[in-house]
Structure 1
Amino acid sequence: MGFIYVLNGKRLKNSMFIILTALFTAWFLFVQNFVHIPVFSTDKGPKAFYRGDDGVVLSFNIGWGDEKAAPIIETLEKLEVKSAVFFLSGSWAERHPDLVDKIKKRGYEIGVLGYEYKDYSELEDEQIRRDLNKALEVFKKLGIKDVEYARAPTGHFDERFLKIAERNSLHVIHWSLDSKDWTNPGKEMIVENVASAKKGDIILLHASDSAKQTAVALPLILKTLKDKGLEMVPLSKMVSDASSKTSEIN
């Protein structure tokens, strides 16, 4: 017995649209999971810096908390780590001037993480401006001068934040490698997440109270980076070197 299949043109178009949409969604999820596209940037406008060429940068976010920052700062000093950058929320810095002073005295760089820990992608432009400016005012009162770097509090942002930061003479800094320490997966897993580091990476770590295992993981993280021959460099050096190379190419 033979069968004759008749396809309705409209139904065929709808089916093809569904298939193509499913394929695109699958491709997008694949890219999100396996290819790190960390930031939004404009073609001609301001861009976020998320990796360089040489060395690695240890970057710590502190949005809130009273317990975990001090042990991390002390561990870095004990292990004679000379270069790191701390992105501080204004509200945290306001409440912990003693720790801010320790960070400064030990020569670590400081960037701004907004004032309150809010998702900038969900705020209006004026709310972002107010939050950022409020944090910068706190920094001035604490003697943090010439702030050059900013990071979106939750890591989520769009073109608006890039432009607002640029108007405040701030470079937006993202990251190329997430330690995922804030999920508290165990110190071994945190170290494993960082073990894939390569030259030019900016490593995201946390010193907020949510990151309960970062301090104990740090010695192993530093040993892993050293064993790979990766030198920890200041963020300012990485940015400057990358800018110089870009200028040479242009």
Structure 2
Amino acid sequence: MAMPLSLNQPSSAAPFEPGALPVTDSLEILMIEDSSATSELLLLFLRHHGHHVLAAMDGEDGLGFLLSKRYDVLLLDFHLPKMNGVEVLLEYKRQRGTNDMPLLIGMTGDIEGLMAHAESSQHFDRILGKPFYPQQLISILGSARPNRKMQGFAQVEANAPFTVNTISDLPEPTNDSDRRKSDRIPVTNAPTKITLTTGETHHCMIKDVSMGAAALEVSVKPEIGERVTVGRTSACVIRHTNDGIVVQWIQ
């Protein structure tokens, strides 16, 4: 039986089948989510799978919990009262640094807004578009392990079904700052639209993002160099892939 975390179902998610879920270790999870319906469903589901979960409804309370102990996973909504998700992470890093960070999963119902501000995604290891099926979250958690520092989640998850190594045209980073900017952040359940120069509009799925580019699964393949609009963000096609294209954001 399918169980999306909303009345609206993701367009390409598989039905929820408990027997198909991967086995995960018990994780210490902090969830900062201001939707009580989403929070209650996730609490029930994650605890049913043996995880220890603490929930906060706004950014200030969430930051306090985050600073109080060590967590394996942080589920963090982008849009929160008092402090948004990015502000929570920046303040946490200011106080505690970046060593021994939890696995950072950003949740958002505004994928097009995320594309318009792609720098926000770089603070996370994974982006999860809402609404989503709990099965999708459990699949992501299958790569996490308790009490273990996560380094480069995109690389940790390289053999997982959601990962697509597509943004390889970008320059090789020369320092830590450049390397972070070039990181590909895997994105799950992120449908949007691409508009061509002809005015044609097609549905597409964002597969991964970086500060400079994004990989899209789409049925059409515009010419290399063609300008397109992804959601409401201008971009240029820089590569064709087996299942779509790679675009670079136009500043």
TM-score calculated relative to the size of structure 2:
0.29
Structure with bigger helix share is: 1
Larger Rg: 1
Greater relative contact order structure (CA < 8 Å, 6+ sep): 1
More strand by share: 2
